[in-house]
Structure 1
Amino acid sequence: MTKVYFFDFDGTLTKHDTMFMFLRFCDLNRFSAKFLLHVPLFIMLKLKLAKAEKVKRHFISSVLKGKTENFLKEKANEFFEKNYPNLIRENALDFIQNIDRTQSESYIVTASLDIWVKPFAEKFEMNLIATETEFKNGVFTGHFKGPNCNGKEKVKRIKQILGDKKFDKSIAFGDTSGDKALLKYANEGHYKFFH
């Protein structure tokens, strides 16, 4: 029986959200200064007066724009070394290690940026579907390639990548409203399964 697994990353596999962690890790001084400037936007977000994608894009851009791809890749690897395996939920780790790889494919499907999730996906031997960082001449433009990989966009991206591939069963794991479409799309959707 062939299976395909879809795992959300932040909060599902990890104990904490990784965006703030990674941005802080990359450039603490810039992070602190920009965080204070963004507090009104974060408040508007909590009150549902601002769009999450816009605020996220703006904040990431304010901290990382202009950094080179090499610098960010290096930082992503250091971030992984520093936080693996402690950042990952123990039962999620057990589950991943026990997947039968001969009969299945596994994907991390995340709204987080590909740049810092990639080392985790590689460690788990999983394919990565994420919000994509846009580089021009080896420098981060402050923009994403395409939409934020969240909500219905997760399903859209999965369908694009899987194409005509057929599996007997699809199993998805998520932990927020941004994963609802994904959990509904799979034959078997698990909410907060590893919590």
Structure 2
Amino acid sequence: MKKLAIFDVDYTITKKETLMELYIYSIKENKKNIKYLPRALFSGFMYLGKIYDEKRVKESFLKFLENFDEEEFKKLMKRFYKNRLSKIIYEDSLTMMKKLKSEGYDIYLISASPEFYLNELYAIKEVDKIIGTRFGFSKGKFVRSMDGENCKGEEKVKRLMEVLKKENTKVDFKESYMFSDSLSDKPLFDLVGHPYLINYKKKHDIEVLNWK
């Protein structure tokens, strides 16, 4: 049976929230994207007011990428990874991936962030599988309609199990690891024998690791 080392992404292996970093990066490439800032702020307020759920917030926020040509879109994601995303990864997270990979673990990244840029993290040679929130293209253009549910909480476990079933993979969860900055990942924490909170500020029964 396989043993997994599962990592959340935002604030777990990265120092910042990655979707916002993508938006900021897009402004650096195209100053006109600043016009979408009021929409982003409005969506955030609607979420805090519990009027929008996370799915609606993300679909609204991604207006700055709507109708982007698929080939140019892919090139943008590669530039984002090279020029920004790769530079905000905690060195301690990479060290842990290398350690567990050398001990025979498969490295899985499971995040609520969009797969369309998370997939660039396959550039980290230790990473075996990436599971995130899915979006797609229609007639060669990006559409900001979410494909399925937001990959958070119980949905992360559901998506993981779908992948394992599809690939006919058996996992020893008692010997597996889970790393996250947030208790929203409790469903995954409860699944494994070795859960760890990353840079968590409060006392908790789950052991806290401080990564830089």
Is 1:16 the counterpart of 2:16 in the alignment?
Answer: yes
8 Å CA contact retained: 2:149, 2:155: yes
8 Å CA contact retained: 1:92, 1:194: no
Quote the Cα distance in structure 2 between the aligned partners of 1:124 and 1:84: 16
- Cα deviation, residue 66, structure 1: 0.1
C-alpha RMSD over aligned residues: 2.1
Q: What is the CA deviation profile of residues 94-115 of structure 1, one whole-angstrom value per residue up to 9, with x for unaligned ones?
A: 1112223572211110111111
8 Å CA contact retained: 1:115, 1:133: yes
- 1:89 match: 90
8 Å CA contact retained: 2:15, 2:90: yes
- Cα deviation, residue 19, structure 1: 0.2
> Gapped runs of 5+ residues in structure 2?
199-208
Q: Secondary structure at the match of 1:173?
A: strand
Quote the Cα distance in structure 1 between the aligned partners of 2:37 and 2:121: 26
| TM-score calculated relative to the size of structure 2 | 0.82
Residue identity in the other structure for 2:155? E
Quote the Cα distance in structure 1 between the aligned partners of 2:192 and 2:33: 37
Quote the Cα distance in structure 2 between the aligned partners of 1:188 and 1:101: 17
Q: What is the CA deviation profile of residues 117-176 of structure 1, one whole-angstrom value per residue up to 9, with x for unaligned ones?
A: 111133244211111121112211221221111111000000011124223322111112
* More divergent stretch after superposition (128-137 vs 45-54): 45-54
Taking the TM superposition and a 5 Å limit, the aligned residue runs for 1:1-195 are 2-27=2-27, 28-60=30-62, 62-83=63-84, 85-101=86-102, 103-126=104-127, 127-163=129-165, 164-168=168-172, 169-192=175-198, 193-195=209-211
Cα distance change on mapping 1:31 and 1:180 into 2, 3 Å: farther
Quote the Cα distance in structure 2 between the aligned partners of 1:85 and 1:29: 22
> Gapped runs of 5+ residues in structure 1?
none
Cα distance change on mapping 1:184 and 1:102 into 2, 3 Å: closer
- Cα deviation, residue 39, structure 1: 2.2
8 Å CA contact retained: 1:114, 1:130: yes
- Cα deviation, residue 178, structure 1: 3.0
Residue identity in the other structure for 2:169? K
Residue identity in the other structure for 1:188? H
| TM-score calculated relative to the size of structure 1 | 0.89
* More divergent stretch after superposition (37-46 vs 63-72): 37-46
Quote the Cα distance in structure 2 between the aligned partners of 1:184 and 1:165: 20
Identity %: 25
Quote the Cα distance in structure 1 between the aligned partners of 2:210 and 2:156: 20
